Structure 1
Amino acid sequence: MTDLELLRACQRNDPRAQTAFYQRFKGRLMGLCRRYARSQAEAEDMFQEGFIRIFQQIHTLEQPDRMLPWMKRVMVNSAINAYHKNQKQRAETDRLDDQYAAAVSYATDDHRETLARLSADEISALVQELPDGYRMIFNLHVVDGYNHPEIAELLGISEGTSKSQLVRAKSALREKLKQIGIVRYEHS
């Protein structure tokens, strides 16, 4: 079945098509959830919640060529919902630490050369080690392309908090890179 045929069958609530649809897209969408989750179990919960929403709302999808971006957006929203549920000290996240912010370089250089030396799994593992807020904002901004106003709205934080958390995430990643012996960065 083509993606379009599969989509239309799912919109008719065909159970076999739903199973095939799930099998076709589970790897890609689970990978997205893993980027945002603290653990495999949390990723599986996000994924399950996201797929439930996809099947509940699939009848609203009118443009088949937008199917994959739409499903990714549903999964990102599932990750954001999990983030909100698990966030225990939200007030602290919204407070800027001026001393720390002053000490951190606001460099926006893309360290492609550095990252090229690491495998995707190694990079993913480093990002997974970041604190929840850093990891969430890093993934939203760097990996999924959201801007700071969008992130602020999605997470219910200020734009400044989004920016500072991204700076802190980058700084933490630089420290992790130093720990594994990568200390020179090529600027592009």
Structure 2
Amino acid sequence: MSLTQGTDELLQTLISGCIVLDPPSQKRFYAHFYGYAFNICNRYVSREEEAIEVINDGFLKIFTEIRQFQPRYESIENSLKGWIRRIFINTAIDHVRKEKHRPLLINDQVEAFGDLQVPASGLERLSHKELLELITRLTPAYRMVFNLYVIDGYTHEEIGRMLNISIGTSKSNLAKARINLQKMILNKQTQFEIHGQRAL
């Protein structure tokens, strides 16, 4: 039996247990997907405490709706990840919207910004963790669209429906998110170079 087959059999057992609200099954399911959920939710909110709140809300929705889950791929784990990813993203969107008490949009006209242009040396000096930290410093509207489009692969049409904004606003927010990230990365690169020179 392959590792994937073993994992899928375990998950199928846990799903069956979660459907009948079996606490040990829910606990093991939660533990299995917690890290995956954290990586998703932490990108959409500003603080780790918020991410944990979103995670817990998301798992409550999952346990309520899990009987509706239908595998879309041969691997149950991959199917589950796709299914719960959508739940956690939507839960994060609802959380940010509720916390900010305002729609997730910026009513500006679309501006013709190009793609993010950062010297390769600047990106190479940033770890994956540092890049994610910069993303969390974006405003909620910019962070939301950047995550949905660049990282999670949604189209502007899909983002517009999810956030109740126009396609033009989605494109505008993405462009401005890229500009803000560019400034933050270049600023971080400048600080690195200054500190490096002082160390010489």
TM over 0.5: yes
Structure 1, 21-30 or 165-174: larger mean CA deviation: 21-30
Q: Secondary structure at the match of 1:141?
A: helix
Which residue identity does 2:79 align to in structure 1? R
1:103-118 matches, within 5 Å, as: 105-107=113-115, 114-118=122-126
Which one of 9, 22, 26 corresponds to residue 30 of structure 2?
A: 22
Are 1:61 and 2:69 matched, yes or no? yes
Are 1:90 and 2:103 matched, yes or no? yes
1:12-161 matches, within 5 Å, as: 12-63=20-71, 64=76, 66-90=79-103, 93-97=105-109, 101=111, 105-107=113-115, 114-161=122-169
Q: Secondary structure at the match of 1:130?
A: coil
Distance 1:164 1:89 in 2: 18
Q: Secondary structure at the match of 1:122?
A: helix
Once the two structures are TM-superposed, the CA of residue 169 in structure 1 deviates from its matched residue by 0.3
Deviation per CA, 1:140-165, whole angstroms, max 9, x where unpaired? Answer: 11110001000000000111000000
* Alpha-carbon distance change, 89 to 58 in structure 1, aligned in 2, over 3 angstroms: closer
Which residue identity does 2:61 align to in structure 1? R
Flag the structure with larger Rg: 2
Once the two structures are TM-superposed, the CA of residue 97 in structure 1 deviates from its matched residue by 5.0
Once the two structures are TM-superposed, the CA of residue 139 in structure 1 deviates from its matched residue by 0.5
* Alpha-carbon distance change, 74 to 110 in structure 1, aligned in 2, over 3 angstroms: farther
Q: Equivalent pairs: percent with the same residue?
A: 32
Structure 1, 107-116 or 46-55: larger mean CA deviation: 107-116
Structure 1, 36-45 or 67-76: larger mean CA deviation: 36-45
Q: Secondary structure at the match of 1:56?
A: helix
Which contiguous aligned blocks of 4+ residues in structure 1 show a shift greater than 4 angstroms? 108-114
Which residue identity does 2:108 align to in structure 1? L
Alignment coverage as a number of residue pairs: 178
* Alpha-carbon distance change, 89 to 67 in structure 1, aligned in 2, over 3 angstroms: closer
Distance 1:48 1:162 in 2: 28
- Unmatched 5+ residue regions in structure 2? 1-8, 191-200
- Unmatched 5+ residue regions in structure 1? 183-188
